[in-house]
A and B are shown apart, each in its own frame.
Chain A
Amino acid sequence: MQRRTLLATASAMMMALAAPVLAQDEPLKVGFIYVGPVGDGGWTYQHDQGRLAIEAEFGDRVETTFIESVPEGADAERALTQLALAGNKLIFATSFGFMDPVINVAQRFPDVKFEHATGYKTAENVATYDARFYEGRAVIGTIAGHMTQSNKIGYIGSFPIPEVIQGINSSFIHARKVNPDVEMRIVWVYSWFDPAKEAEAANALLAEGVDVIMQHTDSTAPLAQAQAAGAIGFGQASDMAAFAPTPRVSSIIDDWSPYYIKRVQAMLDGTWESGSSWAGIGDGEVVIGEISDAVPENVKAEALALRDAIAAGEYHPFTGPLNKADGTVWLAEGETASDADLQSMNFYVEGITAQIPQ
């Protein structure tokens, strides 16, 4: 009897001792909600690559799950809650439209950390993250400025929101820097992903005499159309290497893995803190895809030098003197744009003749 009690006590003590060890061995559960399908080949695909990078980096120490194609709004709130209830301690929500649902769910799960992409609302347990795509646009804008023969560059925009407008301005500034005769034609398709419409937009631009197409939409349709017309373009979100060496002469890739790995590491170390991350080329979040042989060697070198200068923090793509399209002064000589200015950007820079749709 005594012996049994002793044994029981011992095993209880063992259990008690083992418990924290067990807890540590239990993998950190990390959840993701995606706005599109993993197979979209663009935005969501790249986020899922980031998720896989976490698995590759941490192995057994993490366990990741995702819910794809979650509509923004009510369904997002439920999906987030399900993820939290399933024991995920770190949840990434990868679309702007998930912003209010994330804030709502975060209030109900104070122990769970949330990471919201491209939004602007933070909380004790909600951090935001985004990438400085405009840095990459500066590099491919430089290539575009050199490569255009007709001096007309086309730009397919998704929605007239600050992120996209930053990209248009950055591309234009750097194209014009290397080619003062460059003009930019802009077409809005009001969708992030609509292959048929993107193709039509590309064709409309090509008919206008454009021979370089830049896009801030996710499908390869513009590249396919560019090829048929002998024009060039750039991969967007993912590398779109299937279209290299032409028409895809380079690409601007979203690489979320450095940030995701950093944040998971912080969770494992217990050092996670809320904040707003806006990383760019320097942190490896915006990657310039391989510049193909269709681009002359000197242009390639210039583009890579610009990339390295931005990465090293020696150069800011929005450095004065820069005027707004209406002729008013935006940045004085040597002045660089503040993040706050960029995040609410709703104007074109001087030289772009189009109007931003209101």
Chain B
Amino acid sequence: MIQLVPRQNASNLWQIATPLLAVLATMIAGGLLFATMGHNPVAAIRTIFWDPLFGMASGYSRPQLLVKAAPLILIASGLAIGFRAGIWNIGAEGQYIMGAITGAAVALALYPLEAWWLFPAMVAAGLAGGWAWGMIPALLRNWFGASEILVSLMLVYVAQRIAAWMAFGPMRNPQGMGFPGSRNLQQYPSASNPELIAGTGAHWGVVAAAFAVLATWFLMSRHIRGFHIRAAGTAPRAARFAGVRPAVLVAFCLGLSGALAGAAGLFEVAGPAGQITDRIGVGYGFTAIIVAFLGRLHPVGILLAGLLLALTYIGGELAQLTMGLPAASVQVFQGMLLFFLLGFDLLTRYQIRRRITA
């Protein structure tokens, strides 16, 4: 018989080895999948994992990796802090939407004013919108003991409907020929979040994501609050004796992750997405949860996991384009990758031993 024994500290070797093993396993399973569909498995895997980085049009797709990964990394960085403390914000999608709405609202209200402070004001509004939406489950948990998992999830649905209402009602573009959707912020210079250096794809959201990775790393490994968070996650009782106030921690974690998700929404709506529509939430908030776990809740891991997921998105598009793989098979492939990554994670946290039977 085999037995699982928890490791005292997550194994460093396995930390690095398991993601590689999982990707390898996905390549094999995915290759089999593509082969049964009559496609060349080697070519398909190369198209998904290699071509976006080093293929013919990689000059374009490499920067796009950053664009696609930035919101995931930004949101996941915030979420991971809460997850470490055992505070489960699964409503980042809603906070993302609300950040996009509040941020865009500032620009739409002041249109067509051109001023240098407009974009910073939008960022502030986006942060505030996401923060406020994240604080609702925090306060409800602190005051009434309501589960933040469930409240934050319910608030996603509410936010989605607010977005639809905004797109059809208050924020509808008056020059939009009767179609739903707000003005396009890309065409409003002071409010837009453009590419900062041509050809790099990097907009302010990418900068913010990089900053978030550094800041959360600093917070978790160098700051007393990071210590409190880790203590609360691993030994809640002991943490309380050490002077950690749970209510403060709940408010801090949900507020911070909400604010970061809100900022991600703002950067997206002012940049790549351009406008508030009823479909402004494209699932970054949910995907970011997966990214946080794939990244082992560690800032560097999250950075890599976000880039890996972005790679499969862009590679998947390329595979559709060049090989005619249906979008659905790419989705299945991504699902496999997640399953393998989540499953193999066991090896970092547990040792497998042969059970000694008497």
- Chains A and B touch (C-beta atoms under 8 A apart): yes
Residues B269-291 near A (CB distance < 8 A)? 271-275, 277-280, 282
B99 to chain A, nearest CB (A): 16
Of the listed stretches A72-80, A289-297, A304-312, name the one at the interface; the rest are far from the partner chain.
A72-80
Binds A, one of B2-10, B177-185, B257-265: B177-185
Q: Does A65 contact B (CB under 8 A)?
A: yes
Among listed A81-89, A257-265, A274-282, interface-contacting one: A81-89
Interface string of A141-166 (1 = CB under 8 A from B): 00000000000000000011110000
- The verdict on B324 contacting chain A, using a C-beta distance below 8 Å, is yes
From known contacts A69-B327, A73-B272, A104-B186, infer whether A82 and B321 are also in contact, taking CB-CB under 8 Å.
Answer: yes
Are the C-beta atoms of B272 and A346 separated by less than 8 Å?
no
A162 pairs with B178, CB closer than 8 A: yes
Nearest chain B CB to A80's CB is how many angstroms away? Answer: 11
Whether B77 sits at the interface, judged by CB under 8 Å, is no
B178 close to A97 (CB less than 8 A): no
User: Number of residues in A with C-beta < 8 Å to the partner?
Assistant: 37
Interface pair A100/B178, CB less than 8 Å apart: no
- When C-beta atoms are compared, the residue in chain A nearest to B58 turns out to be A85
Interface check A37, CB cutoff 8 A = yes
CB-CB under 8 A from A120, the residues of chain B are 177
Q: Is A315 an interface residue (CB 8 A)?
A: no
Which B54-74 residues have C-beta < 8 A from chain A?
A: 56-57, 60-61, 64, 67-68
Asked if residues A67 and B321 are in contact (CB atoms below 8 Å), the reply is: yes
The reply to whether the CB of A68 lies closer than 8 angstroms to some CB of chain B is: yes
Of residues 285 to 308 in B, which have CB atoms within 8 Å of A's CB atoms?
A: none
Q: How far is the CA of A349 from the CA of B142 in the complex (A)?
A: 55
Residues in chain A near residue B180, CB distance under 8 A: 159, 161
Question: Is there a chain A Cβ closer than 8 Å to B254's Cβ?
Answer: no
Chain A interface mostly helix, strand, loop or mixed? Answer: mixed
User: Which residues from B are CB-within-8-Å of A100?
Assistant: 184, 186-187, 274-275
- Cα separation A170 to B109 with both chains bound (whole Å): 37
Q: How far is the CA of A68 from the CA of B319 in the complex (A)?
A: 12
Cross-interface CB contact of A75 among B178, B271, B282, cutoff 8 Å: B282
Residue B120 lies at the interface, judged by CB distance under 8 Å to chain A: no
- How many residues of chain B have a CB within 8 Å of chain A? 39
Question: Is there contact, CB below 8 Å, between B179 and A82?
Answer: no
Contact of B177 among A71, A74, A81, A162 (CB under 8 A): A162
Contact A343 B177 (CB under 8 A): yes
B320 contacts chain A at the CB level, 8 A cutoff: yes
Instruction: Please give me the residue from chain B that is nearest to A71 by CB atom.
Output: B282
A interface footprint on B296-333 (CB within 8 Å = 1, 0 otherwise): 00000000000000000010011011101011100000
Tell me the minimal C-beta distance from B263 to chain A in angstroms: 16
Docked-complex contact A97 and B277, CB < 8 angstroms: yes
Give Cα A97–Cα B186 distance, bound, in whole angstroms: 15
* A-contacting residues, B227-246, CB 8 Å: none
Q: In the complex, what residues of A have CB within 8 A of residue B278's CB?
A: 190
26 contacting pairs across A/B (C-beta < 8 A): A31-B321, A37-B327, A65-B321, A65-B324, A67-B321, A68-B326, A72-B277, A73-B272, A73-B273, A75-B282, A79-B317, A82-B317, A82-B321, A83-B321, A85-B57, A86-B321, A97-B181, A100-B274, A100-B275, A159-B180, A160-B178, A162-B178, A162-B179, A346-B178, A357-B168, A358-B169
Q: Other CB < 8 Å A-B pairs besides A159-B180, A343-B177, 17 of them?
A: A65-B320, A68-B326, A71-B282, A73-B273, A73-B280, A74-B268, A81-B60, A82-B57, A82-B317, A86-B57, A96-B179, A100-B187, A100-B274, A159-B168, A190-B168, A344-B177, A345-B178
**Residues of A that sit less than 8 Å from B by CB:** 31, 37-38, 65-69, 71-75, 77-79, 81-83, 85-86, 96-97, 100, 104, 120, 159-162, 190, 343-346, 357-358
